[in-house]
Amino acid sequence: MGKTAIITGGGRGIGRAITLALAERRTNVILSYLTRRDSCESTATDVRALGCEALVVQADVTQRESVRQLISTATEKFGKIDVLVNNAGILRQKAFNTISDEEWDTMLATNLKSVFLCSQEIIAVMVRQGGGSIINISSSGGQLGGILAVHYAASKAGVISLTRSLARVGAPDGIRVNCVTPGLIETEMSQKEIHSEVGQQKISREIPLRRAGLASEVAGAVAFLASEEAAYITGQSINVNGGLYMG
C-alpha cells in the first residue's frame, strides 16, 4: 500500500489540485468537507481513476471532536496517515473598522485553530507510527499584510509561526512540518479579481512574473514537501507567488 494523506478542504480549488497531485504520486487520500460534499465526491472520482483510493468525510475542522472522528475514520480505513495537508480556509474582505468580534473569531477558527487542532491530533498518530509530514497552507497575505482582510492576514501569519513551532515539536519523532504560501492563484474564487482592471494592474505592477499562479503549481510544492525528496526539510515556508513576496 502506498502513502495515505488527509487533505482538509480537498474538493475545490487549491485543495483539489493538491489531492490530485498526491494521487498522481500513488497516495491514497481522505478528503474532508464541511458543506460541499459534491465537489469532494467529484474529486474522489478523479482520484480513483488514477488508481488510488479516496475517502470523503464530513468534518468541522474547528471542532476537536469532529477532527478526532475524521482521523479515526481515516486510520480505521487505511491503518496509517503519512501526510496531513491543512488546506481548509476562508477569505472574506472587509474594512478593518467594520470587522465584528464574530467575524474575527470565525476567521481565526477556520484558518488557524483548525491547523492547531488537526496537527495536535495527528501528531499523536504519527508518533506511534514513527513519523509523518504535515503541510500547512498559508498565504502571501500573512507575509505582506492587507488593509482589506486584516483578520485573514493575521490568521495566515499565525499559520507560518505555528509551522515553525510544530517543526521543532515534531522533529524528535521524525515528523516534518512545513508551509506553502501561495500568492494570487487562479481558482474559481479568484476569477473575478484576476480579470478585473484592478486585478490586472496588481499583476503587472506587483508580481514580477506578471501572471497569476496555477493551483497545480501550488500542488507541486505540496507534493514535493510530502515526498522523500524533502526528507531533510522542516520548518520552512515555500513561497509560490511569482515573486510577489521575496522573503
What tens digit of pLDDT does each residue of 167-176 get? 999 999 999 9
Residue 245 lies in a domain: no
- Give the pLDDT confidence of 37-87 residue by residue, as tens digits: 889 999 999 999 999 999 999 999 999 999 999 999 999 999 999 999 999
- Confidence at residue 32, expressed as pLDDT on a 0 to 100 scale: 95
* C-alpha span between 166 and 195 (Å, rounded): 38
Give the mean pLDDT of 137-142. 95
- What local confidence, expressed as pLDDT, does residue 59 receive? 96
Position 197 in a domain:
no
Q: What is the mean pLDDT of residues 239-245?
A: 95
Positions annotated as catalytic residues are 152
Q: What is the pLDDT of residue 224?
A: 98
In terms of pLDDT, which residue wins out, 146 or 19?
Answer: 19
Q: What is the pLDDT of residue 205?
A: 92
Percent over 70 (pLDDT), the chain: 100
pLDDT, tens digit, 9 for 90 and up, residues 80-113: 999 999 999 999 989 999 999 999 999 999 999 9
Residue 196, domain member (yes or no): no
Quick check: is 200 in a domain? no
Domain of 113, in residue numbers: 3-187+214-240
Q: Is the predicted pLDDT of residue 1 greater than 80, yes or no? A: no
Question: 71-104: buried (b, 16+ CB within 10 Å) or exposed (e) per residue?
Answer: bebbbeebeebbbbbbbbbebeeeeeeebeeeee
Inform me whether the pLDDT recorded for 126 exceeds 80: yes
pLDDT mean over 137-149: 93
C-beta of residue 33 within 8 angstroms of C-beta of residue 39: yes
| pTM, entire model | 0.95
Residue 202 lies in a domain: no
- Which residues contact residue 12 at a Cβ distance below 8 angstroms, ignoring those fewer than 6 apart? 36, 39, 43, 187, 188
Per-residue pLDDT, averaged over 22-40, amounts to 93
The answer to whether position 199 is within a domain reads: no
pLDDT at position 6 is 98
What pLDDT does 199 receive? Answer: 80
Rg (CA), the chain: 17
Structural domain count of the chain: 1
Has residue 206 been placed in a domain? no
148: domain CATH number is: 3.40.50.720
pLDDT band at 125 (very low <50, low <70, confident <90, very high): very high
Mean pLDDT of the chain: 95
247 located within any domain: no
